[in-house]
Amino acid sequence: MLLAIDIGNTMTDFLLVEEGKESIYYCVSSRRDLTVEEAIASTSLFFQHNHIPTTSVEGVIISSVVPALTEVYNALCHSLFHVPPMILGPRLKTGVKIVTDNPKEVGADMIAGAAGAKVKGLLPCIIVDFGTATKVYLVDKTGAFLGCSIAAGIGLQSRSLSSSAALLPEVSPSIPAKILGKNTTDSMNSALTYGNVFMAKALADGVEKEAGYPCKRILTGGFSKYVAPLMGDYDYEPRLLLEGLLDIYRRNRQ
């Protein structure tokens, strides 16, 4: 049984897979103050609830953009599974060539996303990742990462509005019936949903124009569920990064 862990700024996602069986997904909040003991306790409860012995985990791979939590889950893997995890970084073979000014700057999440698109046969593609940050990036027909555009994500925008404007509440994202809001909540949600979709689609169109060839369009990320109905013909792949991580694990298993 293999376990992929994707540690993002807002959520930490887990995908547990075993050949011939349905995969199991779950997620928890990416708390910066999470202790190793707390992580072990919550993960143990998940395994107990699903009647899965922790000893069945033979391999783990971690992608992280939160260094403090990388250490927490690294320790968890040693303590709970007695397995040293692979941690996505420069030493691993990913199958993704990074064609940027400084490849070390490219987030592990985008490398995993590119690997996921490659293993699923979705190339060339433009990936729109609605996470803590909204990222739009291009992966060519060989699986190479060619660059990205990064903006504040839906959650960040909502919190920023409510914390900076005294009369605006923090809202849970939802798609209002019309773009023109008739109350504060709908007006804010209009920009959070329609506004972010318009921005992402326009960026994707611009990226495709710069690339000079047609690309598949892929939607992923933790906040993607709030805007998926507005994204039209985009392929919705909520587990793209986790599937990419598992492919990277298999490439490096030897």
Instruction: Return d(Cα 37, Cα 170) in angstroms, integer.
Output: 32
User: Is residue 235 among the annotated active site residues?
Assistant: no
Instruction: Return d(Cα 26, Cα 78) in angstroms, integer.
Output: 20
Q: Three-class SS string for 199-254?
A: HHHHHHHHHHHHHCCCCEEEEECCCHHHHHHHCCCCEECCCHHHHHHHHHHHHHCC
Residue of 109, 186, 205, 235 marked active site: 109
Strand order in the sheet with 235-236: 145-152, 133-139, 125-130, 216-220, 235-236
Q: Which residues are catalytic?
A: 109
